[in-house]
Amino acid sequence: MRQYMGSDKRTLEKIVCNQCGQELKLENGIVQEGVFSGDARWGYFSGWDGERHSFDLCEKCYRRLIGSFRLPVTVEEETELL
Ligand SMILES: [Zn+2]
């Protein structure tokens, strides 16, 4: 869950893990630790027709989530780190 500040609401003020409620570290609006940001736009044939869902998970909760998968996530090496 993200909160923005400023008149234009573009500066990131706070990120909270939707799963555990932990606030993630921010410095000058830039997150300083691992975060997973989910964003789903649901359309026809779904149970949430026309809705957009978004959420954030801290690294610990992301690890727990992918640990519950029947198939592992696809892992590739990144040459440019964020
Ligand atoms: Zn969490």
pLDDT tens, the chain, 82 aa long: 988 887 788 788 999 999 999 999 999 888 999 999 999 999 999 999 999 999 999 999 999 999 999 999 999 998 886 6
Cα-to-centroid distance, 64 and ligand 1 (Å): 9
Cα-to-centroid distance, 69 and ligand 1 (Å): 17
Cα-to-centroid distance, 62 and ligand 1 (Å): 7
* Max Cα distance, the chain (Å): 45
Query: What's the confidence (pLDDT) of residue 75?
Result: 96
Cα-to-centroid distance, 16 and ligand 1 (Å): 8
Backbone angles phi, psi at 75, to 5 degrees: -115, 130
Cα separation of 17 and 60, whole Å? Answer: 10
Query: What's the confidence (pLDDT) of residue 82?
Result: 61
Cα-to-centroid distance, 24 and ligand 1 (Å): 9
